[in-house]
């Protein structure tokens, strides 16, 4: 099943893209890696380098096209899925292990951002999916002993936890912080993990040091980027996102409360679960639920699609069953125990279906839309060979950067046509927009120093931004969008960028041409 779905995913990739501009971020990030740039040193990003390394490796393997991102995802799939299965089938009974494997598999392969409709097929924010996958594996590994009858490999758990923490650190810092807290919490209930703390720390440090040595990553530069992003973001905005997340998860919260009442409170009151086990299971369960809500604050628009919630319920179910089995009243109370387990299993199914159901539908939608891409009136093609498999339906009304999604090919082609009149193969281009869609398409070496993506209030602000001498260090040309149309978004980012860097541009660049939607500047004072 795992191999089959992996092959199916590769066959239908890349999907028809309904929300395109974030995909250009992935392409630009991967293209920078292919050109030897080092994240956080040669370009600024508040996201860890893992996703861009994978995209870069995918482009290197598959060639310069959107297929490279698909291959990067499949590389992650090929490494993580066997690891996940090893953990899940050692920790969980076969039915739950199978269900969790399917859940993780779809979480990796789905082609929609969490919280979005299954019809919005895109590679946007795939780093969040990577983070949820890794934190889910880590939680199962930390908070559950191996199944009865299997040798308890605490050494494997300790070393694996360290490597998973390393991957989380390289993926997204918020997931790493929650993962580190989970390691500390798990050690309170597992003596074998406490004894193996040195192995967890050693494996984490070894993994990070080896990765840094091979890739050239500067951990301090990474932390500086994170600090800058943190200072750019409003606390009020974070609380607003938390409020929206809590509101979106009211139904899930009710299901989780019911699950906890059935598995812990009822069993404890009936004498089927010791007090210490009830407290420990409750702390772990509600700690994971709270952690999931905290993580949503840093993940845009995920709504009720919170993958750690069903994982928390699975862990609670197994912990409660194993605690109950040690009490002498188990068989006398077995009917109630069975009822509560069935109710909890139903809750788990609902929580998984809420995420995995939409993920499965996204793959089906990708297949259906992919079969239509050769129809003449389905989509406009980009006038760039490297974007030959980047298909955006004309009918897509998704509000993306500066226009509706269906108009993006025409907008990008207009910019490509303008650039081809002036640039040379050795030119370095800086794009003052959400990201750079042009350097990859035109086979230009990306400029150094600027953020990979600009989003006011997220990656920079009016008071926290990279110095112009760094941003424009080796840029020969600067291009930015003008004359925005209805149905788009993100105009404020461009306005703030021109407000911040306008004086520098006037002093160091001169306007060479303008099209309907793009302004092109060249280095020089006129």
Predicted model pTM: 0.93
Render pLDDT for 160-191 as a digit per residue (tens, 0 to 9): 999 999 999 999 999 999 999 999 999 988 88
Query: What's the confidence (pLDDT) of residue 454?
Result: 93
> Which residues in the chain come in under a pLDDT of 70?
1-13, 149-152, 300, 325-334, 336, 376, 485-488, 525-526
Specify the pairing of strand 509-514 against strand 518-523: antiparallel
DSSP assignment of 359-372? HHHHHHHHHHHHTT
At residue 56, the 3 state secondary structure works out as helix
Cβ distance 517 to 475 under 8 Å?
Answer: no
Query: What's the confidence (pLDDT) of residue 330?
Result: 37
The alpha carbon dihedral of 227, 228, 230, 236 has a sign of positive
Distance in angstroms (rounded) separating the CA atoms of residues 488 and 367? 27
Closest C-alpha among 131, 29, 127, 17 to residue 436: 29
């Amino acid at each position: 099943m795992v191999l089959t779905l992996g092959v199916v995913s590769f066959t239908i990739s890349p999907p028809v893209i309904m929300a395109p501009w974030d995909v250009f971020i992935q392409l630009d990030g991967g293209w920078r890696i292919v050109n030897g740039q080092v994240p956080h040193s040669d370009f600024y990003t508040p996201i860890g380098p893992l996703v861009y390394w994978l995209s870069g490796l995918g482009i290197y393997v598959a060639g310069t096209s959107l297929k490279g991102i698909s291959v990067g995802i499949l590389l992650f799939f090929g490494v993580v899925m066997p690891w996940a299965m090893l953990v899940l089938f050692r920790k969980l009974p076969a039915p739950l292990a199978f269900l969790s494997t399917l859940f993780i598999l779809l979480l990796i392969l789905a082609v929609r951002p969490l919280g979005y409709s299954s019809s919005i097929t895109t590679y946007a924010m795939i780093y969040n999916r990577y983070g949820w996958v890794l934190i889910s594996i880590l939680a199962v590994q930390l908070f559950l002993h191996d199944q009865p009858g299997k040798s308890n490999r605490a050494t494997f758990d300790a070393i694996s936890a360290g490597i998973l923490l390393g991957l989380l650190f390289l993926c997204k810092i918020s997931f790493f912080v929650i993962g580190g807290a989970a390691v500390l919490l798990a050690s309170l209930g597992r003596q074998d993990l406490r004894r193996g703390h040195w192995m967890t720390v050693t494996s984490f440090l070894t993994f990070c040091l080896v990765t840094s040595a091979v890739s050239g990553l500067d951990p301090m530069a990474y932390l500086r980027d994170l600090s800058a992003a943190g200072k750019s973001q409003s606390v009020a905005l974070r609380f607003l996102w938390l409020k929206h997340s809590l509101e979106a998860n009211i139904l899930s919260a009710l299901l989780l409360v019911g699950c906890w009442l059935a598995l812990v409170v009822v069993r404890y009151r009936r004498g089927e679960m010791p007090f210490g086990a009830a407290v420990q299971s409750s702390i772990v369960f509600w700690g994971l639920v709270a952690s999931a809500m905290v993580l949503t604050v840093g993940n845009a628009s995920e709504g009720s699609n919170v993958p750690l919630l069903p994982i928390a319920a699975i862990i609670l179910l197994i912990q409660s069953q194993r605690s109950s089995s040690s009490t002498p009243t188990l068989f006398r109370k077995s009917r109630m125990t069975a009822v509560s387990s069935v109710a909890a299993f139903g809750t788990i199914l609902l929580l998984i279906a809420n995420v995995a159901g939409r993920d499965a539908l996204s793959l089906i939608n990708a297949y259906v839309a992919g079969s239509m891409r050769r129809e003449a009136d389905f989509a406009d093609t980009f006038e760039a060979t490297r974007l030959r498999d980047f298909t955006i339906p004309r009918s897509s009304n998704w509000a993306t950067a500066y226009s509706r999604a269906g108009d993006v090919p025409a907008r990008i082609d207009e910019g490509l046509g303008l650039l081809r009149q002036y640039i040379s193969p050795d030119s370095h281009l800086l794009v003052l927009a959400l990201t750079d869609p042009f350097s990859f398409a035109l086979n230009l070496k990306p400029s150094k120093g600027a953020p990979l993506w600009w989003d006011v209030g997220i990656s920079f602000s009016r008071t926290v931004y990279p110095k112009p001498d760094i941003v424009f260090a080796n840029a020969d040309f600067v291009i930015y969008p003008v004359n925005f149309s209805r149905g788009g978004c993100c105009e404020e980012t461009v306005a703030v960028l021109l407000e911040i860097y306008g004086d520098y541009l006037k002093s160091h660049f001169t306007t060479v041409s303008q099209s309907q939607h793009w302004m092109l500047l060249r280095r020089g004072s006129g």
